[in-house]
Structure 1
Amino acid sequence: MQLIRPLQKLINSCKNKKPRFSTASLQFRLTLELVTLSILGLGSVAVWAGWQMEQNLVAAHKQTLEYIAMRFPEQIQLYSEMGSLETGLEKTVKKVATANLAVWVKSNDGRLLATSPDLNSDSPEISQITALAEVPQKPQIIRFGNRDIVLCGSPLLLNGQPLGKLYLSQDITEDQQRLNAGLSRLMIVSILTIFILAFAISTRIGKALQPLAEMSRVARAIYADNLAENLHNSKLQLYQAPDEIMGLAEAFNEMLFRLSGSYEQQRQFVGNVSHELRTPLTVVLGYLQSVLRRSNNLNPYQQQALETATAETERTIRMLQDLLDLARADNGQLHFRHNPIMLNSLVVEVVAMSQKVSNRSINLLATDEDVVVCADQDRLQQVLINLVDNGIKYSEPEAAVDVILEKTADSALVHVRDRGIGIPLSHQNRIFERFYRVDESMTRSRDGTGLGLAIAKSLIEAMDGRITLRSKLGEGSIFTITLPLWNPPTL
């Protein structure tokens, strides 16, 4: 049995872990990490692209103003040759000025020498710029209210002689707004791209992890009882999986093959040993009982020793018989005689028999309707006696055991309720395992073998039924047998 427990633990752990897209799943973590990297990458590119576009826009306007300021004296000199200095200055200003570029020239004593056609000495733009503490000589961006202005004020020299100061003011508010709109569109596109990437990454990772999900599905379908029979169907058949997962699948298949062989050998060994040991132990028991019947010349110590040996031999024979029944059930050699059974009468018989043997109070609560099931009467009686006996063993002497018979639309239910010590929640899902004991010392003191409930489960399931447990520590337990009702064939 030491080889069965690791297999059962592995299968139980796989059965309890259902694949789902939770925060602890590998798919979620990989998706989150890759999406985070994508956000950082796309965000960095978007920020850098926006900053670069803004710098290019500003640099282009600054270069334009620097070029105008550099060529402005040449233009004045060119136009002055065709007229006076004032005429050349006005023509140069008119040629340079545009709708968004304001140009004016002031003399060294502050007089306005020339302005763009849409400017005058009282223009708010000239007033705002004049109010500045210092006008930058190199083009710089200055914000006035909600307007962005590229401004510079450079000395104007003509033939090496100072003529005054040239002011250039270009409004780039519309260009800045178009740039911001472009950046907003870029941000929206980046966000949509991130969502598309997140979906694509999650889908791709899900497909990549599909072999692991298949492995979990196969593991959940494996039971120790049917591993040998369904070994071929239990093997993982993976195609086009990554090498790492293929290696894991091959190791998983090899493990199933080894476990199946070990379990089959162990099951055969248990059956053979149970069968071979039962006969000599029966002979030993017969001799012990014969000696006890003729024990007139034995002292008390010898009498007690023989009684103890007889009791232990009987207990060992019962355990071997249980093991033999389980081995036969595993091999499909435990035959059942399914016939319609009046469950009302069977329950009354079991209660009466248990009361007579145990001299304990057993309450019967049965429905007035006839409850007929199709089952093996001897096997079902064996299960009911086992459950009632368990209820008596684990209850206080004055506590009663209840046997309740119910009928639903398509099932018959038999509840065996005790008011004993109860079973902790952590042990309830393993109570039907072979040789499993909630409390080793307590079980031994009650002559338990740890096989009764496992046999009951095997017998009930072989009769197309199921057995379940509800228990609360300190209040008792309720074992429920559910069997399908018998439907007589229609003529």
Structure 2
Amino acid sequence: MPRRSLVKSIAKRLQRRRATGRRFSTSSLQFRLTLELVVLSIVGLACVAGWAAWQMEQNLIATHKQTLDYVAARFPEQLELYAEMGEENGLERTIKRVSTSELMVWVKSPEGQLMSQSPTLTPDSSTIKTVTALTEVPKRPQIVRVGDRDIVLCSRVISVNGKTYGKLYLSQDVTADQENLTMNLWRLMGVSGLTIGLLVFAISRRIQRALQPLAQMSQIAGAISVDDLNGATLELRQAPDEILGLARSFNEMLFRLSGAWEQQRQFVGNVSHELRTPLSVIVGYLQSLLRRGDNLSPHQQQAVSTAAAEAERMTRMLQDLLDLARVDSGSLSFRQTPVMLNTLVVEVVQMTQTVTQRSIKVIATNDDVIASTDQDRLQQVLINLLDNAIKYSTDDANVELILEKTSEVALIHVRDQGVGIPLAHQKRIFERFYRVDEAMTRSRDGTGLGLAIAKSLTEGMHGRLSLRSRPGEGSEFTITLPLWQSPVS
């Protein structure tokens, strides 16, 4: 096959494969790599986001704790300084100095009486009552949930000039900071989710591009048929060295297969040609012996008759092999001419009925069906299919030949009510020497080549041969041929 036509043939097959599409397989290498990398990315981002959130929270808590520790440590010094200056209201001035809008300060006497508090607090303040109701106020700053508020709370005993002055309470509302932290955490989660989505897309696209050479190799290898072996090669560009090495090995394998297939075709053709002449001579002598064998015993006549029948069967098989060899080598020519199928099918049926003594029903459309085909080759295919239908059906079973057409193609159906073909065998029924039932085929004088020849001849005429069958209900072989298109002046 010329290289240009080979490339076109493979391209058409690839287009048909893309048109039909493929289901995404969860066991594919692309899916597994994508899933593993995505899971690793999600785990990594989750760990980073979790650590960042924990770090932000710890930094916020540490900042407030340091503030309260600093105020608690400096408060006795400020109070002692005012006491040395003789200030009677030194406690109030110290509390007012360290208090802020969020930091609340109050001092109780050793007897538990409220001595002073921040200007924004009152003796009946809910904050003071809530803190006082606690069983134990922590000495080190800690975050405590009070109602719907979050506060950093601590208490410390203060001494002035070596004497216990009272107990200092510090409370800082950090609810707003906690809300801002929560909002920042949600933003961090949103950014992490967006990042994960982008990573999934980028990883899947990158893996798809990385595996594209393998997908291309699979498509090309699946589109190469036996007829394409001679000129088929895998040509990959911008692929990794490992894949390029695999492509080179695959091309070498195709070259070896092409050589082996060519040798096999030549061997089959040569052997068939060389054996046909001596077999013809043997058949002639056996038939002559039968005609003049009046002095032969019945047993001898049966033996010679069996030998002649087997020799004739072998001759037909060799002729079939020669036809297949010619088709494989491309030396079998086809003359595509306009053929009136309405007349051809009637002639073929009449010829078959004369030979087999079987009734065959013809169902043809009233319209003229003119196909572009080779009349002799099509006649050979129809005779083969009709002979096959008669051979595998009972004497009282109907055999029909149906002719119809569509806007583009002509359809010839050969239908029988015979034994039928199981579904498991229908895909291989057109293979050479393939038999559904070896004993049954041999009992019907089959060679296993008739359907293979019919399919090869039909495809050589730019047609198609298909099968529909059910065990016990019969089979229907359909020949699809292009209609003749008259040239437009």
| TM-score with structure 2 setting the length | 0.93
List aligned pairs for 1:74-473, cutoff 5 A. 74-84=77-87, 86-228=88-230, 231=231, 234-473=232-471
SS at match of 2:107: strand
SS at match of 1:225: helix
Report the alpha carbon displacement of residue 79 of structure 1 after superposing the two structures with TM: 1.9
Report the alpha carbon displacement of residue 83 of structure 1 after superposing the two structures with TM: 2.6
Percent identical among aligned pairs is 67
Measure the CA separation in 2 of the matches of 1:437 and 1:160: 114
Could you tell me which residue of structure 2 aligns to residue 38 of structure 1?
Answer: 41
Report the alpha carbon displacement of residue 345 of structure 1 after superposing the two structures with TM: 1.3
Question: Which amino acid is 1:256 matched to?
Answer: L
> Is contact 2:335–2:373 with CA below 8 Å preserved after alignment?
yes
Report the alpha carbon displacement of residue 441 of structure 1 after superposing the two structures with TM: 2.1
Measure the CA separation in 2 of the matches of 1:376 and 1:208: 48
> Is contact 1:19–1:213 with CA below 8 Å preserved after alignment?
no
Measure the CA separation in 2 of the matches of 1:472 and 1:247: 47
Measure the CA separation in 2 of the matches of 1:322 and 1:431: 16
> Is contact 2:420–2:475 with CA below 8 Å preserved after alignment?
yes
From 469, 486, 491, the counterpart of 2:484: 486
Report the alpha carbon displacement of residue 89 of structure 1 after superposing the two structures with TM: 1.2
SS at match of 1:416: strand
Measure the CA separation in 2 of the matches of 1:368 and 1:353: 22
Measure the CA separation in 2 of the matches of 1:424 and 1:157: 104
Which whole-Å deviations, capped at 9, do the CAs of 1:457-489 have from their partners, x for residues lacking one?
111111121111111222111111111122333
Question: Which amino acid is 1:321 matched to?
Answer: Q
Aligned Cα root-mean-square deviation (Å): 1.8
Measure the CA separation in 2 of the matches of 1:278 and 1:113: 129
Question: Which amino acid is 1:41 matched to?
Answer: G
SS at match of 2:228: coil
Report the alpha carbon displacement of residue 385 of structure 1 after superposing the two structures with TM: 0.8
SS at match of 1:420: coil
SS at match of 1:113: strand
Measure the CA separation in 2 of the matches of 1:290 and 1:310: 10
Gaps of 5+ in 2: 1-12
Could you tell me which residue of structure 2 aligns to residue 28 of structure 1?
Answer: 31
Q: Would you say how many aligned residue pairs link Structure 1 and Structure 2? A: 473
| TM-score with structure 1 setting the length | 0.93
Measure the CA separation in 1 of the matches of 2:184 and 2:372: 79
> Is contact 1:350–1:385 with CA below 8 Å preserved after alignment?
yes
Could you tell me which residue of structure 2 aligns to residue 8 of structure 1?
Answer: none
Which whole-Å deviations, capped at 9, do the CAs of 1:251-309 have from their partners, x for residues lacking one?
21111111111001111111111111111111111111111111111122211111111
Question: Which amino acid is 2:72 matched to?
Answer: A
Measure the CA separation in 2 of the matches of 1:477 and 1:270: 31
SS at match of 2:136: coil
> Is contact 1:360–1:400 with CA below 8 Å preserved after alignment?
no
> Is contact 2:369–2:405 with CA below 8 Å preserved after alignment?
yes
> Is contact 1:154–1:167 with CA below 8 Å preserved after alignment?
yes
Measure the CA separation in 1 of the matches of 2:377 and 2:187: 77
Measure the CA separation in 1 of the matches of 2:23 and 2:367: 46
Report the alpha carbon displacement of residue 64 of structure 1 after superposing the two structures with TM: 1.5
Which whole-Å deviations, capped at 9, do the CAs of 1:405-432 have from their partners, x for residues lacking one?
1122222111001111222222222221
Measure the CA separation in 1 of the matches of 2:113 and 2:51: 45
Question: Which amino acid is 1:35 matched to?
Answer: V
Deviates more, 1:72-81 or 1:100-109: 72-81
Question: Which amino acid is 1:279 matched to?
Answer: T
Question: Which amino acid is 1:323 matched to?
Answer: L
> Is contact 1:136–1:151 with CA below 8 Å preserved after alignment?
yes
Which whole-Å deviations, capped at 9, do the CAs of 1:39-94 have from their partners, x for residues lacking one?
0000111011101111111112112111211111111111222233x522111111
Report the alpha carbon displacement of residue 19 of structure 1 after superposing the two structures with TM: 5.6
Deviates more, 1:171-180 or 1:86-95: 86-95
Measure the CA separation in 2 of the matches of 1:410 and 1:190: 58
Report the alpha carbon displacement of residue 434 of structure 1 after superposing the two structures with TM: 1.5
> Is contact 2:229–2:255 with CA below 8 Å preserved after alignment?
no
From 53, 69, 73, the counterpart of 1:50: 53
Measure the CA separation in 1 of the matches of 2:469 and 2:70: 93
Gaps of 5+ in 1: 1-10
Could you tell me which residue of structure 2 aligns to residue 71 of structure 1?
Answer: 74
Question: Which amino acid is 1:59 matched to?
Answer: A
Which whole-Å deviations, capped at 9, do the CAs of 1:222-255 have from their partners, x for residues lacking one?
1112322xx2xx2112233223222221221111
Measure the CA separation in 1 of the matches of 2:64 and 2:426: 80
